[in-house]
Amino acid sequence: MPRPAGPPFDGNTADIVICSLDDVAFKLHRVILCIASEFFKDMLSLPQPSTDERGSSADLLEFDGLPSVRVSEQSDVLERLFRLCYPVDDPPLQTMGEVRSTLEAAMKYQMAEAIKITKRRLLALARNDPLRVYAVACCFNLEEEASVAAKEVLKQNAHEDYVDELEDISIGAYHRLLSYCERRGRVRDQYKFTIHRTSGRGTSVTSTPTLDAVALDTPDAALEPRAALDPFNDPEAEVTLVTADGVEFRVFKKILQFSSPVLYSTAKELLASDRTTVHVAEPSRILDILLRLCYPVLEPDIEDLHDISIALAAAEKYNMQRASQVLRAALASRRDTSSADSDPVVLYAMACRFDMRDLAVAAARRALRTEIMRSSVSELDTIGVSGGCLYRLLEYQRRCKSAIRSIFNGTDWIESDMLARLQDCCSLQVYHPTRNPCWYDEYMSCIGEQGWPKVEMVQDDLFLLTVLESAEKVQRMNYSSCSSCFDRRGTFLLISFSKCVAKAIEALEKKVTLKWTVPPQAQ
């Protein structure tokens, strides 16, 4: 039995009750609800059931003789929301959690004045929590508020901070904020944070997809229905699956039953009413892949990385176990490839999307020295992972970069045998017993200039030759004379030492672990 709310939502003049998820009954007035909320105005304008009808339905309840509507919000959220609608003092809305939950409810119930007040309060929090405000604004597609918060993030240099709300926004929304800060705010007037441009045959602007959605291609114009190719055009097949681009796939009920319990359940209900057509959200090329993985025919040759990702998301949605297994294997096979269509950042995002940790780690390592922020944001937007995934990739890159700085801070990382060879090389070491070879400082200085030296670079033949020539020139300018550092023995030692440096860089980077959180889809 619901318990009554406190004043002013317990009055005797109320004519409707809103019951919260935690069983608190708010006695309200229809006229106020209808003025404040387009949602309740539409709902309450519908013909209301009689008392007998309300009593016979579990969904239509009463409280103190008044019709009662149960909603999904907690009582604390509803109290703040209704106080924004009633002629009483507004709630303080002091914390981000209070603002966010109230704003979400206000938008859900289309309460214009409540939305305006909570948006104003959200902006007031930007000075203390700019990154959180940015994330919340992106969650609700509030472009103006996101823009204001982004300016404050830039001002406070807070773009590398972490907040929990990064897990709630898309990787594309976070990418756009980082790009804005990287350019120091010097962007075109058309630059947007909460929308993105889709690429393809016709570029268009659309809201950033939610995290539980995978963006699918849409046709440029409405197409006439057309039949799929063999074997999905058999007239004896009982079920017709119609794709987003109007292609009709005829599928046998038994095959659907064993390959996709979800689609079969839908089709079974329709077959009972003599309707055999099921509409799906996927385009024909994706459904063709899925069905060929279910039918006893040759498996499709899937080359496009995004097709694998979209097909896998659909296979898991429709509970197509074999298709999911094959598509996961196809995605995992990109682990060691460096083909042009396998951007390591995009591959990392896809691995996060499907909870494939080994693939994510491999892709993250491949992305170490790439310009992560140069990856296509429109591609990232379509995958359906959070900004937190991008944060962890960038943070992993920063930690790997920091880890190898130890090779420039002394010689403790050098193996004892190599260190002995270094200190025994220079002919001038009789005056300086711990002296390193004459080329040592020049070599370490040159790789240090790279900021984050690559394994391939530190042992490149042309690079080593340049180091030797430069170090020898410096020695001549200092009127020094070393008979061993630049002869054959000294040159071979430099080559051996460069391999030692490359090995140390790899070892130090491998010690850094990629932080991981399980995506919502996998929980």
For residue 307, being part of any structural domain is answered with yes
Are both 372 and 504 inside the same structural domain?
no
For residues 250 and 316, is the Cβ–Cβ distance under 8 A? no
pLDDT computed for residue 224 by the predictor:
75
For residue 394, being part of any structural domain is answered with no
pLDDT computed for residue 523 by the predictor:
39
Other residues' Cβ atoms within 10 Å of the Cβ of residue 36: 23
Are both 64 and 126 inside the same structural domain?
yes
For residue 404, being part of any structural domain is answered with no
Are both 49 and 136 inside the same structural domain?
yes
Question: What does the block give as tokens for 163?
Answer: 């907040």
Q: Torsion angle of alpha carbons 24, 29, 35, 40, nearest 10°? A: 50
Query: 375 CB contacts (<8 Å, ≥6 apart)?
Result: 175, 343, 345, 346
Between CA 282 and CA 260 the distance in angstroms is 15
Q: How many residues does the chain have?
A: 523
Are both 295 and 334 inside the same structural domain?
yes
Are both 424 and 369 inside the same structural domain?
no
Are both 378 and 444 inside the same structural domain?
no
For residue 46, being part of any structural domain is answered with yes
The residue among 182, 217, 237 that closes a domain is: 182
Query: 415 CB contacts (<8 Å, ≥6 apart)?
Result: 500
pLDDT computed for residue 55 by the predictor:
45
Question: What does the block give as tokens for 493?
Answer: 């030692």
Are both 294 and 352 inside the same structural domain?
yes
Specify whether the backbone of 519 is left (phi greater than 0), alpha (psi in -120 to 50) or beta. Answer: beta
Positions of the chain with pLDDT under 50: 54-59, 199-205, 220-221, 518-523
pLDDT computed for residue 169 by the predictor:
93
* 3-state SS track over 145-207: HHHHHHHHHHHHCCCCCCCHHHHCCEHHHHHHHHHHHHCCCCCCCCCCCCEEEECCCCCEEEE
Q: Residue 240 sits in which domain range?
A: 226-385
For residue 265, being part of any structural domain is answered with yes
For residue 380, being part of any structural domain is answered with yes
Could you tell me where the beta strands, DSSP code E, fall in 133-215? 195-198, 204-207
pLDDT in tens, 202-246: 344 455 556 665 556 555 445 678 898 999 999 999 899 999 999
* 3-state SS track over 452-472: CCCHHHHCCHHHHHHHHHHHH
Are both 378 and 415 inside the same structural domain?
no
pLDDT computed for residue 283 by the predictor:
93
Other residues' Cβ atoms within 10 Å of the Cβ of residue 514: 19
For residue 395, being part of any structural domain is answered with no
Specify the residue for token string 């995992």. 332
Between CA 257 and CA 259 the distance in angstroms is 6
pLDDT computed for residue 205 by the predictor:
47
pLDDT computed for residue 343 by the predictor:
86
Question: What does the block give as tokens for 194?
Answer: 């909460």
pLDDT computed for residue 231 by the predictor:
93
For residue 197, being part of any structural domain is answered with no
Are both 380 and 416 inside the same structural domain?
no
pLDDT computed for residue 59 by the predictor:
45
Question: What is the domain-level CATH number for residue 263?
Answer: 3.30.710.10
Are both 169 and 290 inside the same structural domain?
no
Domain total of the chain = 3
Are both 285 and 354 inside the same structural domain?
yes
The residue among 182, 211, 239 that closes a domain is: 182
Nearest of 206, 74, 124 to residue 136 by alpha carbon: 124
Between CA 488 and CA 180 the distance in angstroms is 52
Between CA 265 and CA 270 the distance in angstroms is 9
Q: How many Å separate Cα 447 from the centre of its chain?
A: 34
Are both 12 and 125 inside the same structural domain?
yes
For residues 471 and 442, is the Cβ–Cβ distance under 8 A? yes
Between CA 26 and CA 265 the distance in angstroms is 39
Between CA 485 and CA 472 the distance in angstroms is 9
pLDDT in tens, 111-143: 999 999 999 999 999 999 999 999 999 999 999
Between CA 212 and CA 194 the distance in angstroms is 16
